[in-house]
Amino acid sequence: MKKIGVFTSGGDAPGMNACIRAVVRSATYHGIDVYGIRSGYQGMIEGDIAKLEPKDVANIIQYGGTILKTARSKEFMTLEGRKKAYEQLVKFEIDGLVCIGGDGTYTGAGIFFDEYGIPSIGAPGTIDNDLYGTDFTIGFDTAVNTALDAIDRIRDTADSHNRLFFIEVMGRDSGFIALNAGIAGGAEGILLPEIMSDYDDLIKHFNNKEKRRKEFSIIIVAEGEKEGNAFEISKKFQDNFSGYDVRVSVLGHIQRGGKPSANDRILASTLGNAAVEQLMAGKSNACVGVVNAEVVVTPFHEAIYKSKSINQTLWNLSKILSN
Q: Considering only the top CATH level, what class is 142-256?
A: alpha beta
User: 3-139+260-305 and 142-256: same fold?
Assistant: yes
6-15 pLDDT, tens digit each: 999 999 999 9
Percentage with pLDDT > 90 across the chain: 89
| CB-count burial class (<10 Å; 0-12, 13-18, 19+) for 174 | buried
The residues, any chain, with a CB within 8 Å of residue 73's CB and separated by 6 or more, are: 9, 39, 40, 41, 42, 45, 81, 108
Partners of 51 in the β-ladder: 35
Going by their DSSP bridges, the two strands 286-291 and 294-299 should be labelled as: antiparallel
State the average pLDDT over residues 178-192.
96
Q: Write the CATH number of the domain with boundaries 3-139+260-305.
A: 3.40.50.450
**Confidence band, pLDDT 50/70/90 cuts, at residue 122:** very high
d(CA 255, CA 173): 16
Residue type, 194: E
**Residue 135 designated active-site:** no
Where are the domains positioned within the chain? Answer: 3-139+260-305, 142-256
The pLDDT, as a whole number, for residue 209 is 60
Q: What is the pLDDT of residues 7-57, one digit of tens each?
A: 999 999 999 999 999 999 999 999 999 999 999 999 999 999 999 999 999
pLDDT class for 127, splitting at 50, 70, 90?
very high
For 84-118, the pLDDT digits (tens) are 999 999 999 999 999 999 999 999 999 999 999 99
The neighbour count for residue 20, using CB atoms within 10 Å, is 29
Catalytic residue among 128, 130, 198, 264: 128
